[in-house]
């Protein structure tokens, strides 16, 4: 499996925000994007996730033989943005269970995913009872309940305390070792050997 | 007059019961007693009502009045209690005042609905229609809308404590404006004065109608206070559950996992 | 898709009492009419179908901005549009869930409000029936409107302005069908079938337009 981003340019209101990005990632590799606020990291990630139309360039996903995957790339991606994509009125379990059923390709059971982020005890609580860090951990658990070969993460550890960050890097590392591709905007050292860096200038 | 003193005692009683813990103790003792009184009064009231003589004009339909009139009274009394609770919330910011307001609102809405529904049942044989835009019914309908609006408002907040002030202020605003609404609806209705409506002026009521009515009113009041204390108890418990859940979310996971297993 | 349907229904039912507010708005609109028209039963019963239809129309429009705004605020919308499901189908299911919790209660409440407006039994039946067939069309067209306005900070009013002209056919066929049911000379079946056709047509067109809109207006 190989993720190829070629000469990707994204515009907002006619002005280029991100221009000419290109890289290739193979299975098990990670790309870490750094840069100041407003340098276009989030825009680039949203473009890769298919949430923003590309002004030019392409994002492609292909298998080892170079045969492109069927359908749009976004269908093979997990996207974790600034928001957690959870409903505050529903319980933690119901939130995750919804995404597990809606997104298809179920992976871990909801309880197992919560166990991974050490939040099993909150399963039956409404989401809004949780603290900001706990909410973020539930959002990370969403990545585990359905199976996607590409993870696109935007500041995934914002609001997390040190032990939770360690848990998170562990999860990400395991994902890369199982052959996943990771693109993340973060200042953390993810501990993945095959990590490339992309520095955005404002 | 007896109702007045009962009311004032209730208010002074609220002060000593301002502590939720003490209130729960009181509620647990009071509910069985008051519930029994309410049921006995209701049975007596129904017995007296059914033995009341037929009205020479209205026939059996007059029996509806024994259900209808106290319901309308209670609809207004409940709003008064809510307004007093609202003052408690606004002036003293006391949580029990909010609990009282919030638990009274659905009861008030039910009594208002009961008054409207029985009024409509009475109206069918008397007026020939289920509903007449008569000043009295219209103002009660507006009261129902106000009740339902307050319930919707109190449920619109994720955190019930945040709803306390807005709901209290709206309740008081309503209390001040309701007489104006009532007055203007009366005025509106005389302005149009539809020919079909016979406004029912109540003649001096004879004793055989008055006693069942008063007993029914007392029964309704006993039912209301029993239910009010029960719903307040539920609200206090619901808040405790909420804070327990909140603590459960904060608890470190190893302990909490144990708790979870205990529960399972 | 069933998961989305049940999630949306549950969200509107137990958070913030969405369908209660819509129903209450309907009731409030209905009870304001007699003040403007006068408590004349004969006049009210003539106007009742129109009052009920306009009340239901306004109440259906009222909730539309919630359809996507909340999903957008909490980030769910991004995840919803990324999946393999055809986006138009996702939109259809969201519109359906929206109608089930906001439109259907209006239809069910119509008989009660019809009685209050002194409408005849047949009139009540016809009004509730046409609303049952017609209000889904409002929801489907509204879905497209809500998708257009999703990025605007105060989109609610704009959605109503956008959607109201588009639902005029629904109103016309609904009211003509009621007239057909109440009057000997007016046709009943033809406007009712037209109403069904409009609803079926919009059930495809509305979600499709909403899907295209969401894909191209992403930010």
Of A12, A75, A87, the CB nearest to C74: A87
Q: What percent of chain B has pLDDT over 70?
A: 79
Interatomic CA distance for residues A192 and A31, integer angstroms: 10
Per-residue pLDDT at A48 exceeds 70: yes
Virtual torsion, Cα A54, A56, A61, A66, nearest 10 deg: 170
* List of chain A residues whose C-beta atoms are within 8 Å of the C-beta of residue C73: 83
Given a contact cutoff of 8 angstroms between Cβ atoms, the answer to whether A133 and A167 are in contact is no
Please give the pLDDT value at position B59.
67
What's phi and psi for B210, nearest 5 deg? -70, -45
What's phi and psi for A4, nearest 5 deg? -120, 120
Other C-beta atoms closer than 10 Å to the C-beta of B107 total: 22
- Count Cβ neighbours within 10 Å for each residue of B24-40 and write b for 16 or more, e otherwise: bebbeebbeebbebbee
Q: Check CB contact of C40 with chain B, cutoff 8 Å.
A: yes
Q: Which residue of A has its CA nearest to B263?
A: A121
Per-residue pLDDT at B200 exceeds 60: no
Please give the pLDDT value at position B5.
42
Please give the pLDDT value at position A99.
93
Of A196 and C154, the structure prediction assigns the larger pLDDT to A196
Please give the pLDDT value at position C15.
61
Statement: the pTM of the whole predicted model exceeds 0.80: yes
Residue pLDDT, tens place only, A138-189: 999 999 999 999 999 999 988 888 889 999 999 999 999 898 999 999 888 7
- Pairing, β A2-12 against β A181-185: unpaired
Please give the pLDDT value at position B87.
93
DSSP calls for chain A: -EEEEEEEEEEETTEEEEEEEEEEEETT-EEEEEE-TTSSHHHHHHHHTTSS--SEEEEEEE-TTSPBPSS-GGGGEEEE-SS----TTSBHHHHHHHHHHHH-SB-S-HHHHHHHTT-GGGTTSBGGGS-HHHHHHHHHHHHHHB--SEEEEESTTTT--HHHHHHHHHHHHHHHHTT-EEEEE-SS----SSEEEEEEP-
Please give the pLDDT value at position B229.
93
Count of residues making up chain A: 202
Please give the pLDDT value at position B263.
41
Interatomic CA distance for residues B243 and B161, integer angstroms: 12
Given a contact cutoff of 8 angstroms between Cβ atoms, the answer to whether A74 and A103 are in contact is no
Residue pLDDT, tens place only, C11-27: 877 765 567 788 899 99
Q: Which residue of B has its CA nearest to C20?
A: B152
Q: What percent of chain C has pLDDT over 90?
A: 50
Give me chain B's average pLDDT, please. 80
Interatomic CA distance for residues B15 and B108, integer angstroms: 22
DSSP calls for A100-150: HHHH-SB-S-HHHHHHHTT-GGGTTSBGGGS-HHHHHHHHHHHHHHB--SE
Of C125 and B25, the structure prediction assigns the larger pLDDT to C125
Per-residue pLDDT at A105 exceeds 60: yes
Residue pLDDT, tens place only, C103-125: 999 999 999 999 988 899 999 99
The CATH homologous superfamily to which domain A2-200 belongs is P-loop containing nucleotide triphosphate hydrolases (3.40.50.300)
Other C-beta atoms closer than 10 Å to the C-beta of C89 total: 14
Residue pLDDT, tens place only, B58-96: 667 778 888 888 999 999 999 999 999 999 999 988 888
Q: Check CB contact of C74 with chain A, cutoff 8 Å.
A: yes
Interatomic CA distance for residues C30 and C61, integer angstroms: 16
Please give the pLDDT value at position C92.
95
* List of chain C residues whose C-beta atoms are within 8 Å of the C-beta of residue B189: 39
Please give the pLDDT value at position C184.
83
Q: Do C39 and B134 touch (CB under 8 A)?
A: yes
Beta bridge partners of A185: A33, A154
- Pairing, β A2-12 against β A15-26: antiparallel
Query: What average pLDDT does this structure show over A118-123?
Result: 88
Residue pLDDT, tens place only, C129-138: 999 999 999 9
Residue pLDDT, tens place only, C55-68: 999 998 888 888 88
Of C2, C15, C75, the CB nearest to A89: C15
Of A121, A128, A129, the CB nearest to B260: A121
Please give the pLDDT value at position B57.
64
* List of chain C residues whose C-beta atoms are within 8 Å of the C-beta of residue A99: 79
ipTM of this model?
0.88
Of residues B134, A89, B220, the one with CA closest to residue C116: B134
- Can you give the residue ranges of every domain in chain B? 66-192+228-242
Q: Is the dihedral of CA B196, B202, B207, B211 positive or negative?
A: positive
Grouping H, G, I as helix, E, B as strand and the rest as coil, residue B182 is helix
If pLDDT is split at 50, 70 and 90, which confidence band does A202 have? low
Please give the pLDDT value at position B264.
35
Please give the pLDDT value at position C9.
84
Q: Do B248 and A126 touch (CB under 8 A)?
A: no
Please give the pLDDT value at position B18.
67
- Tell me which residues of chain A have a C-beta less than 8 Å from any C-beta of chain C: 12, 46, 49-53, 71, 74-75, 77, 79, 81-90, 94, 97-99, 101-104, 142
Please give the pLDDT value at position C16.
59
Of C31, C38, C44, the CB nearest to B141: C31
Q: Which residue of B has its CA nearest to C28?
A: B145
Q: What percent of chain C has pLDDT over 70?
A: 97
Per-residue pLDDT at B257 exceeds 60: no
Q: Check CB contact of C217 with chain A, cutoff 8 Å.
A: no
Which subunits have 3 or more CB–CB pairs within 8 Å of chain A? Answer: B, C
Q: Check CB contact of B214 with chain A, cutoff 8 Å.
A: no
Q: Do C40 and B131 touch (CB under 8 A)?
A: no
């Amino acid at each position: 499996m190989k993720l190829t981003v070629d000469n990707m340019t994204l515009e907002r209101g006619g002005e280029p925000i991100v221009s000419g990005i290109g890289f290739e990632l193979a299975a098990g590799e990670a790309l870490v994007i750094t840069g100041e606020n407003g340098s276009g990291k989030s825009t680039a990630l949203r473009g890769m996730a298919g949430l923003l139309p590309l002004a030019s360039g392409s994002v492609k996903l292909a298998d080892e033989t170079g045969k492109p995957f069927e359908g749009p790339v976004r269908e093979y991606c997990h996207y974790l943005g600034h928001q957690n994509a959870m409903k505050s009125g529903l319980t933690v379990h119901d939130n995750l269970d919804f995404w597990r059923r809606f997104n298809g390709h179920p992976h871990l059971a909801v309880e197992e995913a919560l166990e991974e982020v050490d939040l099993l005890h909150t399963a039956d609580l409404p989401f809004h009872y949780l603290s900001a860090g706990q909410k973020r951990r539930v959002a990370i658990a969403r990545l585990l309940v359905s199976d996607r070969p590409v993870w696109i993460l935007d500041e995934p550890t914002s609001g997390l305390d040190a032990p939770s960050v360690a848990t998170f890097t562990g999860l990400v590392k395991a994902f890369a070792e199982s052959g996943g591709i990771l693109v993340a905007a973060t200042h953390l050292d993810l501990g993945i050997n095959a990590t490339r860096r992309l520095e955005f200038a404002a | 007059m007896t109702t007045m003193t009962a009311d004032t005692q209730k208010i002074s009683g609220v002060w000593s019961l301002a502590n939720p813990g003490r209130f729960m103790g009181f509620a647990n003792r009071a509910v069985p007693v008051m519930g029994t009184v309410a049921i006995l009064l209701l049975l007596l009231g129904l017995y007296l009502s059914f033995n009341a003589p037929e009205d020479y004009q209205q026939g059996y339909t007059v029996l509806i009045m024994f259900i209808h009139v106290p319901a309308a009274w209670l609809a207004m009394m409940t709003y008064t209690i809510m307004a007093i609770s609202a003052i408690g919330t606004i002036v003293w910011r006391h949580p029990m005042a909010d609990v009282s307001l919030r638990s009274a609102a659905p009861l008030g809405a039910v009594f208002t609905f009961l008054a409207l529904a029985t009024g409509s049942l009475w109206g069918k044989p008397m007026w020939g229609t289920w509903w007449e835009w008569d000043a009295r019914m219209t103002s009660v309908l507006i009261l129902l809308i106000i009740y339902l609006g307050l319930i919707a408002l109190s449920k619109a907040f994720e955190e019930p404590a945040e709803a306390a002030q807005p709901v209290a202020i709206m309740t008081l605003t309503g209390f001040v404006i309701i007489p104006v609404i009532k007055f203007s609806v009366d005025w509106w209705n005389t302005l149009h004065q539809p020919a079909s409506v016979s406004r029912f002026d109540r003649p001096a009521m004879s004793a055989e109608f008055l006693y069942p009515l008063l007993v029914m009113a007392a029964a309704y009041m006993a039912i209301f206070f029993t239910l009010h204390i029960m719903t307040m108890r539920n609200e206090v418990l619901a808040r405790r559950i909420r804070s327990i859940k909140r603590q459960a979310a904060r608890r470190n996971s190893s302990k909490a996992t144990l708790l979870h297993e205990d529960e399972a | 898709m069933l998961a989305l349907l049940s999630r949306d229904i549950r969200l509107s039912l137990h958070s913030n009492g969405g369908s209660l507010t819509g129903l209450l708005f309907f009731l409030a609109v209905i009870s304001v009419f007699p003040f403007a028209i006068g408590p004349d039963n004969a006049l009210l019963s003539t106007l009742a179908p129109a009052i009920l239809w306009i009340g239901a129309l306004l109440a259906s429009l009222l909730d539309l901005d919630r359809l996507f705004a909340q999903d957008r605020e909490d980030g769910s919308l991004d995840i919803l549009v990324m999946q393999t499901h055809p986006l138009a189908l996702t939109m259809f299911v969201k519109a359906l869930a929206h109608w089930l919790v906001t439109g259907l209660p209006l239809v069910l409440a119509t008989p009660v409000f019809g009685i209050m407006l002194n409408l005849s039994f047949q009139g009540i039946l016809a009004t509730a029936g046409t609303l049952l067939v017609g209000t889904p069309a409002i929801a489907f067209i509204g879905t497209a409107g809500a998708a257009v306005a999703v990025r605007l900070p105060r989109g609610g009013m704009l959605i109503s302005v956008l959607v109201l002209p588009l639902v005029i056919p629904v109103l016309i066929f609904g009211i003509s069908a009621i007239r057909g049911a109440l009057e000997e000379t007016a046709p009943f079946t033809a406007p009712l079938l037209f109403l069904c056709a409009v609803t079926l047509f919009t059930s495809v067109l509305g979600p499709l337009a909403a899907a295209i809109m969401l894909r191209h207006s992403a930010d």
